[in-house]
Amino acid sequence: MAWTTPGTAVAGEVLTAAFWNEQVRDNLSFLNDHTLLIGSANTAQSSTVGNDVTYDAATITVTPGRWLLLAGLSLTGSTSDAVAVGVWDNTTSALVTDSTGNYFVHSGTTPAFWGMSRPVLVTVTANTVFRPRARRNGGSIVTVSAVPAGLTTASSGYIAALRIGA
């Protein structure tokens, strides 16, 4: 259902059921149709040399509609490399267009860094699974690092989706 720009009531006007349903019921339903999904985990996962890593521990399944997606990962690498985070469409086995964030250059296993995807708007017509994906630009082994004990509210990675319409 679409948003309808609210009309202006005029003194003495009779408000019909159709007007009320469109202006009040339907617009309130539209505003209420915003779902937030978050998949996160604190599990280490590594790629093999020279391969990207799709972080399987953090996953969401969205239903048909328009969604705003964002992903983030805590990363290290085995050698100096440039790495970025994007959103992986696990249903079609493809990176979501324009979701890859800025590449960060790191030097070996230190320091670890937090990479984020670009926020990206997608429209899906069937249930679709999304995950964060670390994309490397060289030949390192990329690792999603487990967060140290004691930081129990932190996560190694997340994928989030906000439904913004049917």
pLDDT at residue 26 in the model = 80
Nearest Cα to 30, choosing from 51, 5, 8? 5
pLDDT in tens, 9-44: 788 888 888 888 888 888 777 766 678 888 888 888
Sign of the dihedral through C-alpha 105, 81, 72, 46: negative
Nearest Cα to 115, choosing from 94, 140, 92, 87? 87
SS3 71: strand
- The highest-level CATH class for domain 36-165 is mainly beta
Helix (H) or strand (E) holding 116, with range, is strand 113-116
How far is it, in rounded angstroms, from Cα 20 to Cα 26?
A: 9
**Over the chain, what is the mean pLDDT?**
82
- 113 with 101: CB under 8 angstroms? no
pLDDT in tens, 80-139: 778 889 999 999 999 999 999 888 776 665 556 778 899 999 999 999 999 999 888 777
pLDDT at residue 92 in the model = 95
Instruction: Provide, rounded to the nearest whole percent, the portion of the chain with pLDDT above 90.
Output: 28
Mean pLDDT (whole number) for 52-61: 90
pTM of structure: 0.76
Domain regions of the chain by residue span: 36-165
Nearest Cα to 44, choosing from 146, 153, 149, 148? 146
